[in-house]
Amino acid sequence: MYKAALFVCSESDTFLKNYTMFAPNVVIATAGHPILPELRGSSYYQYNMPVHIGKNCWLGAGAVVLPGVTIGDNTVVGAGSIVTKDLPANVLAVGNPCRVVREISEHDREYYYKDRKIDYNSLKSKTPLQALNLTHK
């Protein structure tokens, strides 16, 4: 079990759905400040934009999600990624700036990591795997 720190820098809403996992040191930043220095001393000193993160996502260690971003269901964000724009559902996305590398595919039903095969017979748990409708097709 990880002792994860999830930092939410927020004066706006952060919408999180079920089963989404956060690795240590993920930051969700819903607030920002103007680029123009003079404005940072004015009533424009801060803006806030909500962040939406779908269900069954996994955000790797140290990922940062910037204001206004929406991440679709099931999407995986690699460690250390800076998510500057929306990400669709069902993809693996990595890097700074975070880009989609590939869709989650049938390959991921066969292998849980690189060449490590899923042993479906060993999956006894009813939840949350059943809720995720995990089956070997």
Ligand X SMILES: CC(C)(COP(=O)(O)OP(=O)(O)OC[C@H]1O[C@@H](n2cnc3c(N)ncnc32)[C@H](O)[C@@H]1OP(=O)(O)O)[C@@H](O)C(=O)NCCC(=O)NCCS
By beta-carbon proximity to ligand X, the closer residue of 12 and 75 is: 75
Q: Give the binding range for ligand X (CB under 6 A) out of 31-39, 47-55, 71-79, 125-133.
A: 71-79
Least distance (Å) from ligand X to the CB of residue 92? Answer: 6
Q: Give the binding range for ligand X (CB under 6 A) out of 29-37, 66-74, 75-83, 128-136.
A: 75-83
Largest separation between any pair of C-alpha atoms in the chain:
62
Question: Has 136 been annotated as catalytic?
Answer: no
Interaction pattern, residues 11-50, with ligand X; x per rule: CB under 6 A: ------------x---------------------------
Taking CB under 6 A as the criterion, the residue among 53, 76, 83, 87 binding ligand X is: 76
By beta-carbon proximity to ligand X, the closer residue of 51 and 57 is: 57
Q: Is 5 in the site for ligand X (CB under 6 A)?
A: no
Instruction: Report d(CA 94, CA 83) in Å as an integer.
Output: 8
The first and second tokens of residue 122, run together, are: 């060993």
* Per-position DSSP letters for the chain, written without gaps between them: -----EEEE-SS-EEE-TT-EE-TTEEEE-EE--SSGGGGGSTTS-EE--EEE-TT-EE-TT-EE-TT-EE-TT-EE-TT-EE-S-B-SSEEEETTTTEEEEE--THHHHEEETTEE--GGG----TTTTTTT----
Least distance (Å) from ligand X to the CB of residue 8? Answer: 18
Where on the chain is the footprint of ligand X (CB under 6 A)? 2, 23, 60-61, 76, 78-81, 92, 94-95, 101, 113-114
